[in-house]
A = this chain, B = another copy of it.
Amino acid sequence: MKVFYTSEHQSHAPESFMLRGQRVPCPEIPQRAEILKKAVSRHELLKCSNHGSGAIEAVHDSNYLEFLHSGFDEWSALDGASPEIIPNVHPNRNMSHVPRHIVGRAGFYQSDTSCPIGAGTGAAAVASAQCALSAADTVLSSSEDRVAYALCRPPGHHAYADMAGGFCFINNVAAAAQACLNHGATRVAILDIDVHHGNGTQGIFYHRNDVLTLSLHGDPDYFYPFYAGYADETGIGDGLGANRNRPLPKGTGDSDYLQALEPELEAIMSFAPDVLLVALGLDGSEHDPLAFLAITTAGFRAIGERIGGLTLPTVLVQEGGYVSNVLGDNLSAFLAGYESSSESVTA
């Protein structure tokens, strides 16, 4: 399995974020990617190549991208501003205008305090997306590579078309899905197994039926991102029926998770996608510092096996998963599980 990586992620190294009214260290740190890189050392490691901005611009608002790339300079010029952009006022309901002031734009384009933007954030986010685009290109272009893994950092699935959030800035898996369509695929499925709902991905494709979005995640009634990820969100307009959410109760373990996964896999096969993209969060781990679910390393292997067993061309896109003793093991286990079942079927 080819693995796409770039060291450019290191230019995004957030110092802190705001949680429950307190400034605390940010868990989405460069060390994550280095742990994951070590875990895939038996695979062929490739530097991601530049696939241009077309797919990124197709899934993001141009004014948002402009903010992401130039906002930091404006922010830094403010009296008393923090070292990274952290918003303090938001449009919420009953408001509509996009203001010119950087504090107002920050709150318009960042829906929470968990997506601090520093000098290198925009470049790192684009490089991260290029890893996903590289993996997608490989799977679509090569008859030998039925699967590829993009070691994306920062992650992407909380990024909406026009909003950063939850450590995410550019929606890597959404850009890769769009690239697949641009490359000739007619139907694409995105299965999100991060512990947090893939709200940005859902939002980007909510009105479309060429991309089936499915997410299993901690119940948003009690867990980030709180305002989306409920089972009754099924898409709108042309997209009606092309979004599936499976909220899971706190503490859900391997067995219940695998049971909840089954109907989602069946829905994928019914949709008959040309390509499957997996938003591969590892923060469902029982040992993750942001723990909500309780998946073991064996559980990640089993999840990988089940997804590999679909034998679809597959782009694996790294999402969350934070520093713990089992972070690398869980990635290795997922990939080994995926390969074992995809190989056993195709052999």
Contacts and interface: CB of A to CB of B under 8 A. Distances in A.
Contact of A112 (B80, B90, B224): B90
Contacts of A206: 94
Contacts of A172: none
Contact of A24 (B75, B80, B160): B80
A101 B223 contact: yes
Interface in A90-109: 90-101, 103-104, 107-108
Interface in A147-185: 160, 162-163, 165
Contacts of A112: 88-90, 107
Interface string A5-45: 00000000000001111111000000000000000000000
Contacts of A136: none
Contacts of A83: 21
B101 A89 contact: no
A128 interface: no
Contact of A89 (B95, B99, B225): B225
Contacts of A221: 97, 99-101, 104
Contacts of A20: 75, 78, 80-82, 86, 88, 103
Nearest to A103: B20
Chain A binding surface, main DSSP class = loop
A97 B230 CA distance: 8
A228 interface: yes
A104 B98 CA distance: 24
Contact of A226 (B89, B116, B160, B225): B89
Nearest to A23: B23
Interface string A184-214: 0000000000000001000100100000000
Contacts of A134: none
B18 A226 contact: no
A19 B80 contact: yes
A112 B103 CA distance: 11
Please classify how large the interface on chain A is, using the bins under 10, 10 to 19, 20 to 34, 35 or more.
35 or more
A220 interface: yes
Contact of A90 (B21, B96, B111, B223): B111
A115 B85 CA distance: 20
Interface string A26-67: 000000000000000000000000000000000000000000
B162 A93 contact: yes
Contacts of A93: 91, 160, 162-163
B21 A99 contact: no
Interface in A297-318: none
A108 B85 CA distance: 21
A113 interface: yes
Nearest to A86: B21
Contact of A21 (B81, B96, B227): B81
A153 to B, nearest CB: 21
Interface in A230-249: 230
A64 to B, nearest CB: 11
A114 interface: yes
12 contacts: A20-B82, A20-B88, A21-B81, A21-B82, A21-B84, A90-B112, A93-B160, A97-B220, A103-B226, A104-B221, A104-B226, A108-B226
